[in-house]
Amino acid sequence: MTGDPSAYFERLTKYIAEENIALEYSDEIAPAKGTAVPGKITLLPGQAPAELFSTCGHELAYRAARRAETTKRIRETEAEGVAFVVCSAIGLGTGTASQDYVGLYGRDAKLLVESLEYAQQTASRILTAIAPENSATPA
């Protein structure tokens, strides 16, 4: 991950708070970079700013879970799709990070296509919430 999400990260954390989700940092989640449970996102401290933003977006995507009966593979693919779209939209370089992550869950092109609508809708909600015109914080 490359780039500087600066003000976008501030707006993302504000959006998370507005959604009544606690945002915490803990070394105890390692080797995971982030975790999400209902009402709480936990991030691994010490990540580079772009990676921290991406991880936060990935974990936030779980908040709007597509359906309860999804598998971990589907949820991870969709959450990473959301993170990729949001990061790309604000100008962060993702390199092969998203592709590599989805690869951990089987590189299933059919699943990815089936998940596109969910990922787009969720990413759109996040991008609308963190857009500069929706905040007093400049881009």
Residue-level pLDDT at 136: 54
Residue-level pLDDT at 44: 98
* Segment 58-93, tens digit of pLDDT: 999 887 655 566 777 778 778 888 888 899 899 998
Domains in the chain with CATH codes = 6-130 (3.30.2010)
Question: Which neighbouring-strand residues pair with 6?
Answer: none
Could you say which residues of the chain have pLDDT below 70?
A: 64-69, 95-109, 111-112, 135-139
Give me the amino acid identity at 34: G
Count CB-CB contacts under 10 A for residue 121: 12
Q: Give Cα separations from 77 to 26, 35, 43, 95, 114 (angstroms).
A: 24, 15, 19, 17, 10
Tokens representing 90 are 């604000």
Residue-level pLDDT at 18: 94
Residue-level pLDDT at 74: 78
Residue-level pLDDT at 116: 77
The answer to whether 12 and 82 are in contact (CB under 8 A) is: no
Burial readout 60-85 (b: 16 or more C-beta within 10 A, e: otherwise) = bbbbebbeeeeeeebbbbbbbbbbbb
Residue-level pLDDT at 96: 53
